[in-house]
Structures are given as C-alpha cells and as structure tokens.
Chain A
Amino acid sequence: MDELYREVLLDHYKNPHNKGIILKPHIHKDDHNPLCGDMIEIFIRLKGERIENITFEGKGCVISQASASILTEDLKGKTLKQVQDMTREDLLDLIGLQLTPTRVKCAMLPLSAIKKGIIEYEMKK
C-alpha cells in the first residue's frame, strides 16, 4: 500500500537478519524508546577496530525491528569510527524511508544503542 510498509521492510521484520545473541561480545548494550517501549539489545564482536559480527535482540514495531535488521547487515566490516560518524540521514537513506519525527525515533533506536555501546566500550578501554 505505501512505502512505509513495503515488502522489503516487512520481510526484515518477519525474518530479521542477525537476530540472536553473541557469547562474550566486546560491546553489549540495551536501549529502549520510552515513548512506545520498543526494546533493543545489541551484541558486537570486534576484530581490531572493525566489527566482525553484530547481532541484536529486540521487541517492537516494524520500523524499529526492520531498522535493526538492515543496519546490522550494513555495519559488518565497518570500523567503530565509521559507525560513530553515521548520521540520522545516513540511516534513513539506508533503510530508504521518509519518516515523521515520531517514527524517526523508532528507526534510530538500534543506531543510538550501538553508538552508546561504542562510547561505553571506548571509555572502558
């Protein structure tokens, strides 16, 4: 019907990529959207400065969960610096959506969790 719920996005929602946990992750962070209660938990395994593997667990609306699926797929092999430099616009381009401000928060949830996780990891180093 409309692009927000187009096939590819719904497919990511129903059959998410990279869903699951990583044992002994270098970065582990959970976050939630207080507006709607969507939850996300991120697991990252590094090889040097690059993301070797990234997975998520979560519960929420189509946008937040599909965004996690698409984003984790994209981030494999990227450096932590590249992830930190990723903007809201980059993310929206990646998932290919024009969103209202409320729904942008849904889409941003996984990326903000990952960035917070990286900051915590850098501080611990």
Chain B
Amino acid sequence: MKVEKLKKEFPLLKNKIFYLDNAATTQKPESVINSFKKFYESTNGNAHRGLYSVSQAATKILDESRETVADFINAEKDEIVFTKSATEGFNLLAYALESEVGRWNHVVTTELEHHSNYVPWQQLTKRTQAELKIVKYDSKKNELDNFSEYVTKKTALVSFTLMSNVTGLMPDAKEIIKKIRAENDKIIIVVDATQAIAHIDIDVKDLDADFVIFSSHKVYGPTGVGVVYGKKSLLEKLKPFLFGGNMIQEVKEYESTWATVPDKFEAGTLDVAGIFAFAEALRFLNAQDSEEIRNYETELKNYALSKFKEVDHLTVLGHTSKNYGPIISILITDLHPHDLAEICARENVCVRAGHHCAHPLMRRLEIVATTRISLSFYNEKKDIDKFIECINKARKIING
C-alpha cells in the first residue's frame, strides 16, 4: 500500500510524530479540516430554520451528510440520529428504552465493554429495578462466555461491543445476534461499533442489530458528532430523550407532540459543520480501496505482534486468534504503563496507558492498567519499531 502518499493527506502527521493511539481518536485528513472552513464561509445558517439561502444550504448539507453516513453502513437515511458522541448515543438509548424495560426484565451487557456501553445500562437497571446480567469474559480462552447462558425470555435488551477497545477482540456478532433472536425475538439488540467502525465493514441490514452506535472522531472525522443507527420501526416507537427545539411537532400549553424520526431525537441545533466534516471523512474513506486498507492494517498488527514476541517479560492480552482488530494491549513485568507511556511521550511516540475506561474487564483480568497501541492505515512499521525502541530505553532508564 502507498502509505506515504496516504499519510500526506493528514497534516498533523507531517510533524515528527509516531501516532499509535488511534483507538482514542484518529487524525483527520486535510479535506475534513478544510470542510469546516468551506461550511462556515459559504453555507452557515441554522438548518431547518430559515427560508433564506444559507439556512436552506445548511439543511441540504445536513440531509446529504445523513445520507452519506447511512450509505456507509447500508442504513436508510431516516434511521440515522446524530448525537454529540457515542456516549451520548448510549445514554439516549438507555433513557428512550426505559419504557421497554420492566422490573421483571433482564438487561444484558458484557465485561468486555467500555464504560460508555456499561454504565448507562447499569443505571437503567437501577431506575427500572430490572436485573443487570453481565456476560463474563473468560480470560483463559480470551473470549466472552456463551450469550445463551444469559439470554432468556426475561431479557429485554442486550448490548455488546463489536471490538474491544482494550484487547481488540471481535466477538462473532452475527452469530451472537442470530442466537439471541432464536432464543427470544423480542429482545432489543444494541451494538457498540465505536472501535469497529474504522476497521471493519459494517452492514446494519446484514448484522441485524436494532441499534448500532459509533462516533465520528474515531473514523477520521471531527469530534463532537456521534451516530445512533436504529431500525425505523423502533425509533418511531421510542420516546424522545432530549426535549426542545426541532424535535417538536406541536407544543400546546400543557402537552406536546413530537416530530418524526430522526428529528424527534435531535433536539437543539446540531453540529452541522461537524456532521458535514464527518461526511467528508467518509467520502475520503470511500475513495480508498477498503480491502487494501484492511489487509494493510492486519499486516501491521501481525508485525507488531511478532515484534512483541521478541521483547522479554512482555505479555500481549489476547490476540490468540484472527478475530482481533489492530488494537493491542501489553503488560511488561518490570515497567509500569505510566512510566513507559511517559518515556514514549518524550520521543513523541503516542501510546495509551491506563485502564482504558474498562474497569469490569480490568477486574476480570486482575490487572489495573495496560499500555495500548492501536493502529491505522497511516501507520508504518517504523512506528512500531520506534515503540519497541522506547520499551528498551524505558527499561534501561528505570531498571538500569
């Protein structure tokens, strides 16, 4: 793959930086950055509000961008709800779905989840007095327990990730969803695609989840934009989460009625400039050869794994099969993740140290922190080599 050429599209990467924290946020191509200027210079108006040209233009841009996002995951345009982040998306659902969860019901999530796909459900069960069932992560087999042990006729909702932000593990989502449906076809299924969206092709029709959540900034778009995909029939049924402008059909003195979907869930002025820039990021990706990108990311991942094997006292979490994305957490016996990440930072090697907002998984693994690298198509083998160099350097500095 012509990484050098692709990398040139990302202005920040022109600096001497070894950016290996793509699971935290990705860098942005120039076209995405420029789209903000383009939007504010020529089409800035409040979408849906004015009859004058710039408001009309903003409305058109919002509409077209929604279509671009929908096409990216093979959804329909009005099945796409914009939020400010994936986290807000999970909270939106946890409130909107409250009416679907009774105190005799079970809500199922897993130990593999990021806090954003865990705490909203935990709190939902507190509000509704439903029971929270947590699918265990088997740290010996490096996989989630069988969902069928947790899913019953009492289950109202299941939510799980397509790709762990800590280990990169990709549960077999299609198979899991099929089994859940077979057990109980009334269950609402939510999947967290926040990490997966940048690394695998997602077709919501093929996947058959009811809701799919992700954010723009983890897939080369700007911060401040999240997406909730929802099956239209469900979106129509659910109550709104935020109230205010744009989501209204009519406000009477003591009662209100709601706009149609997706507007019903989009109270307040949206970040239209951000949404436009996000659509630009997806256009950028659509213009690449996605198979080539996927293959290259896998090649990089395998290179990193082979390099890690050569380092003494280093353990990789998981990665015992092919079902992993390019996210790798490591533990080094004689190096604290913070010390390693700090010494990396001095060399402008950007890696992540900590619990990665995944306390339940950390507890299951009986660890408190890892050092994580997460790769993108603009990374090169030399980025990984540099990280290995930092490990050796840190070892020399700290352990003498």
Contact = CB atoms under 8 A, between A and B. Distances in A.
A61 B343 contact: no
Contacts of A34: 355
Interface stretch (A2-10, A45-53, A69-77, A78-86): A2-10
A10 B337 contact: no
Nearest to A1: B397
Given A1-B346, A5-B343, A62-B339, A37 B398 contact: no
B338 A103 contact: yes
A10 B398 CA distance: 7
Interface in A24-68: 34-38, 60-63
29 contacts: A1-B393, A1-B397, A2-B346, A5-B343, A5-B397, A5-B398, A10-B400, A13-B398, A14-B400, A35-B354, A36-B337, A36-B338, A36-B354, A36-B355, A36-B369, A37-B362, A37-B367, A37-B369, A38-B368, A60-B338, A61-B336, A61-B337, A62-B336, A62-B339, A62-B398, A63-B339, A102-B338, A103-B342, A106-B338
A103 B342 CA distance: 9
A35 B367 CA distance: 12
B225 interface: no
B144 to A, nearest CB: 23
Contacts of A63: 338-339
Interface in B86-120: none
A4 B353 CA distance: 17
Interface of B: 336-339, 342-343, 346, 353-355, 362, 367-369, 393, 397-398, 400
Determine the interface band of chain A, counting residues with CB < 8 A from chain B: 10 to 19
A111 to B, nearest CB: 18
A61 B339 contact: yes
A10 B400 CA distance: 9
Nearest to A65: B336
Interface of A: 1-2, 4-5, 10, 13-14, 34-38, 60-63, 102-103, 106
A105 to B, nearest CB: 10
A4 B342 contact: yes
A108 B397 CA distance: 23
B342 A60 contact: no
Nearest to A106: B338
Contacts of B354: 35-36
A95 to B, nearest CB: 15
B338 A61 contact: yes
Contacts of A10: 397-398, 400
A36 to B, nearest CB: 5
Contacts of A36: 336-338, 353-355, 368-369
B359 to A, nearest CB: 8
A14 B355 CA distance: 25
B339 to A, nearest CB: 5
Contacts of A2: 346
Nearest to B343: A5
B167 to A, nearest CB: 17
Which of B339, B346, B353 is the most central at the interface, judged by chain A CB atoms within 10 Å of its CB?
B339
Given A14-B400, A36-B355, A102-B338, 15 more contacts: A1-B346, A2-B346, A4-B342, A5-B339, A5-B398, A10-B398, A35-B354, A36-B369, A37-B362, A37-B367, A61-B339, A62-B339, A62-B398, A63-B338, A103-B342
A15 to B, nearest CB: 11
Contacts of B338: 36, 38, 60-61, 63, 102-103, 106
Contacts of A106: 338
A60 B336 contact: yes
A116 B97 CA distance: 41
B114 to A, nearest CB: 16
A62 B336 CA distance: 8
A63 to B, nearest CB: 7
A9 B56 CA distance: 62
Given A10-B397, A60-B336, A37 B355 contact: yes
A62 to B, nearest CB: 5
A62 B398 CA distance: 8
